[in-house]
Amino acid sequence: MAKTPNTTPILERLTKLALAFPEAHCELCNSHAAFRVRKKTFAYFLNNHHGDGIVAVTCKVLPGENAALATTQPGRYYLPAYIGPRGWVALRLDLPKIDWSEVRELLLASYFLTAPKRLASAARAPHQV
């Protein structure tokens, strides 16, 4: 049986990035997390979801962008079960090197697509970005 990596530092860093956005909060459920703004989810942290052995962050993206990312970078991106067809993409966080600026940009784009306009505007302000 393969050893499961320690995902605590990854989740801690991801949480710090996600909670930097206005009114964002995190809901933990076992080894997964949902990042929400008000009552809407803008990202999920998945750890071995349905036994797939993958650690990833999933986010909303613009229409068609999820398929494009999964097709052009299949080692890093994939369409997550259930929500992939609804415009979500997953970025693997269990690879040897994580580009945290890319993770932040993916989170931010998803936040912009999910948050009310007033909050999204506040996230664009220089002191937030």
What tens digit of pLDDT does each residue of 94-119 get? 999 999 999 999 999 999 999 998 88
Q: Which CATH number fits domain 8-119: 3.40.50.300, 3.90.1150.30, 3.10.129.10, 3.65.10.10?
A: 3.90.1150.30
- Residue 53 burial (CB count, 10 A): 12
pTM for the structure as a whole? 0.87
Ordered by start, the domain boundaries in the chain are: 8-119
Rounded CA gap, 99 and 104, in Å? 9
Could you report the per-residue pLDDT of 5-47, keeping only the tens digit for each? Answer: 567 899 999 999 999 999 999 999 887 899 999 999 999 999 9
